[in-house]
Structure 1
Amino acid sequence: MSCKSLIFLFLIILGILLICAPVEAKKISKNRYCTIDPEDRRIARKNPHTLFALNLVKNPMYQIEETDKETARKNLDSNFTLGLLQNPNYIVDEGDREFIKNNPNIDFAEQVSQKPGYKITDEDEKYLRNNLHTKLSLGLIKNPGFTVSVSDKDFARNNPESNFAGEIARLERYKIEKADKEILYKYPKSKFANGLVRNPRYRIEKEDKSFVRNNINESITAILTQFSTYQIEEEDKKIARSNVNSNFASGLILNPGYKIESADKELAEKNLSSSFASKSCLNKSHKTGFRDKKFIRKNLKSDFVALLTIDHEYKIEKEDKKIARNNPYTRFAEGLIQNPNYDLELKDKKVARKNPASNFAYGLSIKLLQCGIQIK
């Protein structure tokens, strides 16, 4: 290749780079506020009981420092502590082990002992069998290293109201038998029943369908009706639409096989505060097009509206951002800022920092959490 040809090729490549550069710069600029700053960390530590703190510190982008562990132990029942323990960067050390050993009945003990990084020792196994009702024991049960024994199953069945029964019944390692379902139907409000329906091994049977239709307000009904194997019939839709605030309705409308119809949309409009309305927005077949801006902006505190504004189909305008920033304690603000099409600005962080306990701040922390997951 001649010298002139090489120069010509170089100029072409340089031109392409110059054209692409502004686009890439714009892309980076667009996300520059999707980061965790020292000021964010300070606000979280200063306001440990806020939802802002919860979501900020559990963000994968949040690098844990010793100061954070100290803050957590001084504020054991705070959202800060809860979030910190959910951070994948949290490493259980000997200090944690010693601390929960001396404080077995606090939530912190339960959270730490269930982490995969907490290796169960023979001493832990012995403690668990002799202290079934402590928070530390509940955490050990949730630990991936825990194995279910025959005596554990017997205890759970004989004590369905215990926390131990509820936690052990939901484990995939717990093999469900006929005796377990009999206990479920007999004690549907028990912790054992609520744990069992969350067990990955649970399978829907004819008896389950009959049970939920006759017990529409039981909490386990909301779980059972969501199963993809629950075959939806017209009778089920009729029951749900006639009982919009029932657990049956809130569960059924989240079933993958439930297709949203015009009748459901009309029912939601008339019953905005119902669980049927709020859950209908989460159904994948739901479309937001039937809602106009005026309706949404007049119902800023509605859970239903929050779910509509968070949807990527909602077209965000400057007026929406203005309303959200001026009304930070509304569900509208909480949903809007989480919308995938909402581009964060410095003024958003300022609003959140001035109102750390607001819906807006909570929504912002969720937005940052999503950024952390994407970056990871």
Structure 2
Amino acid sequence: MRHFDTWVLRDPYSIWHYYPTGHRWRDTVRDLIHSRAICSPETPSSPTPINPSIHTQSQSPLLRLPAELRQMIWSYVLTNDATPTTPTPQTLHLVQLKGKIRHVRCTSPTPHNGSETPNPALTQNRHCCPTTPARWRIYDGRVPGHSDRLLYPHTHEHLPSTLSNSNVALLRVCRRIYAEAEHILYQASRFDVDDLYTFIAFSESLSPSARNSIQRLTVQWMPIWIPMAGLDHKGSIYGHTHSDELWVRFWGSVARLSELKELGLSLDLGRFTSVASGVSGQRIPFGMGEGWVGPLLGVRGLSSFDLAVTARCDLLARGVVEGELVKEVGELRDGLREFLCRPKEVLDEGSKREKRARLAIAAP
């Protein structure tokens, strides 16, 4: 009769610990507590004899199936996909909530970019799931529920109710199933991140096998200032989310994803408005030689790369901004695509620039 086996109390037998609401237990229950008939500490018990009728792991009908069939079963269970042999990548928005890294499954269908591989639209800026954008991306009141009083990345009041719980109970059955199926969770997903530290913490929490199974990543980021341009504000309230050191660490984490094949980068430049002197808004220089591009050059071995730049403009500013960005962004996209899709063994001037950027950050 162990009705109270989850307590963590200094004195578990004190009857007053069971009256948090002022209601008293019935006398029969009180007597059982006082006599330690319930709530008694667990004592080591003798080993339970093995039941001969219980199959050992090697005798399990499931584990005796061919490896190809087991992989199909693991994929079907862990990806919730009707076509387990070729699961469709699902987009997982990574979020940081109360110091923990969680995720939200994207509710919109994954669009196609004209190729055989599905690729989420880089221009969405997480509007597909309005509870997930980082708080500094919401500054025009379009998405209600965000708090401007907190400087944590993800603060939408309805975010806790939209968090996803992956069906990972299968991985807890035994070590053999865990070893065979762990990588499926990461291979069959496209991770979407809009906060640098969130992804750093996420990648560091994974086992090497899981981390190296990530094949698809989308980065949707809004620069508060231009990285690696000497504009790092040490005393800024955004110092823990936007800094040169964090920018270098983030791309170092991406470069360590040995099996990464698809990478998308979306930069949200914010709002541009027309003023008497021209167009007002934050501009960022685009070019392979720019300092903020250097940390990206440590990534190698991609099969596809895409770059998008978004901004909100009034009618007068739109033509000016488009005229400035279209050509420069296109040239940078082509340059990065040619560079990042090189084999990992190639070491050239781009890698040297990335290393110099790391040393500059680490220098006192």
Q: TM-score, normalised by structure 2?
A: 0.23
Q: Higher relative contact order at CA 8 Å, sep ≥6: structure 1 or structure 2? A: 1
